[in-house]
């Protein structure tokens, strides 16, 4: 495991590691994320086992909304939310357009996707092919890591590279909103409030 300052050169190194099937920890605008290439089943399996996560699909980040539209079906409501909150801490659960392995989907026909508000995580996603896994950098059931060192301690050397950009500016993971059906459901409360979402959806 290498803990590296999040310079441009080291972001490129981390992206190459992801393309090679490795696991990388990186900063977001909420908490530190743990990522890999979603299209490499062995990487997703390794990530799930490291995190201790076996029953939930893995969230993803994309470098922009256009690429997100290749990963999931963006409904008109989703497009309005994306226009208002992306880049930012709102994750949308939508019908999948990709055939990822069961380690990513765990049998679900939907995927949780967002465009992050942190330039490092967006650039890492871009250099890695447009999309990467973005689950919080901690063991399942434990508090999310808000510093690179917390992530290193929590994951016990199970990752290849940790990009250190200092303490994360947020304390909560992103809001997760399921809009894959006719109704919108908040699955996890976070920085984007229910009222903010309601205001956009009622337009």
Cβ contact 49:103 at 8 Å:
no
Domain extents for the chain? 2-74+91-171
How far does Cα 64 stand from its chain's mean position? Answer: 13
The pair phi, psi for residue 59, each rounded to 5°, is -70, 155
What is the third-level CATH fold of 2-74+91-171? DHBP synthase (3.90.870)
Cβ contact 46:58 at 8 Å:
no
pLDDT score recorded for residue 20: 98
The band of 203, judged by pLDDT with boundaries at 50, 70 and 90, is low
Cβ contact 172:30 at 8 Å:
yes
The pair phi, psi for residue 162, each rounded to 5°, is -120, 120
Question: What confidence tens digit (pLDDT) does each residue in 48-102 have?
Answer: 999 998 788 999 999 999 999 999 999 999 999 999 999 999 999 999 999 999 9
């Amino acid at each position: 495991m290498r803990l590296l300052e999040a310079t441009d050169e080291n972001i490129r190194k981390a992206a190459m590691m992801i393309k090679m099937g490795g696991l990388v920890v990186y900063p977001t605008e909420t908490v530190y994320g743990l990522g890999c290439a979603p299209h490499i089943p062995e990487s997703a399996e390794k990530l799930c086992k490291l995190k201790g996560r076996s029953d939930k699909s893995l969230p993803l980040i994309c470098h922009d909304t256009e690429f997100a539209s290749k990963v999931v079906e963006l409904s008109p409501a989703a497009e309005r939310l994306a226009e208002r909150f992306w880049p930012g801490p709102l994750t949308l659960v939508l019908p999948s357009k990709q055939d990822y392995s069961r380690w990513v989907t765990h049998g679900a026909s939907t995927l949780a996707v967002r465009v992050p508000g942190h330039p490092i995580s967006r650039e890492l996603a871009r250099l890695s092919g447009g999309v990467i896994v973005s689950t919080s950098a901690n063991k399942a059931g434990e508090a999310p890591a808000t510093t690179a060192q917390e992530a290193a301690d929590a994951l016990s050397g199970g990752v290849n590279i940790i990009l250190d950009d200092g303490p994360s500016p947020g304390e909560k993971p992103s809001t997760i909103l399921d809009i894959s059906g006719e109704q919108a459901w908040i699955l996890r409360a976070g920085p984007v409030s229910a009222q903010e979402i309601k205001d956009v959806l009622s337009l």
